[in-house]
Amino acid sequence: MTEHVTDDLEPYALGALSTEDAERIAAHLAACPACREDARSLAEVVGTLPDTVPSRAPRDVLRDRILAAARGDVPADTRPAAAWRIPFGRVRAWPIAIAGLASVAVLLAVIDVDASRRLAQATAERDKWAGIADSVSEGGRWWYMAGKDELDGAGGTLIVPRAEGHGPFVLFHDLPKLSGKLL
């Protein structure tokens, strides 16, 4: 089976995907009961969205302005005055090219800052896990815990490291998805 399409289910339910992506998601839903159930739940939510906001008719003035604009018979006093129009004359390409290059440089700088921030976060997380691995490598006390009832088959290991400055922690495995419960 292919990977679940969880990230694409919201736009699929809203009808915001391209035809090609929508067909791909529909094909996956035909074969995947878990994603199909998620898509059904999202479709129910999307179906109730119009009922969450009370309907309100637009004011007559707004309606008349929209219809007048559509017909093209907007009164002269509401049109922009000619004095506000700026004649550009001849536009040279090099100032536009420089502005485009400057905007690309700013965009690349923003991307670089974001990448640096994410790298720092990943490094900090790696160092945290390395510290845990070091504390476990020095020995300590370990207890295995087996799941009961609806957690049957799951388990965890409580580790109290001997290393100074490291507190106890639990490594869980095979935890089922618990619906409607917060632990």
Mean pLDDT (10-residue bins), the chain, 183 residues: 82 89 93 92 83 76 81 61 57 84 94 94 92 78 86 87 79 78 57
Domain extents in the chain: 1-81, 93-137, 140-173
What is the value of pTM for the model shown?
0.32
Q: Which CATH number fits domain 1-81: 1.10.3720.10, 1.10.10.1320, 3.40.50.1110, 3.40.30.10?
A: 1.10.10.1320
Rounded CA gap, 142 and 168, in Å? 10
3-state secondary structure of 164: coil
User: Residue holding tokens 């160092």?
Assistant: 127
Pair 174, 154: CB distance under 8 Å: yes
pLDDT at 182 (0 to 100): 59
Q: Which residues of 40-54 are buried (b: 16+ CB within 10 A; e: fewer)?
A: eebeeeeeeeeeeee
Rounded CA gap, 178 and 116, in Å? 36
pLDDT at 79 (0 to 100): 54
pLDDT at 170 (0 to 100): 84
pLDDT at 89 (0 to 100): 61
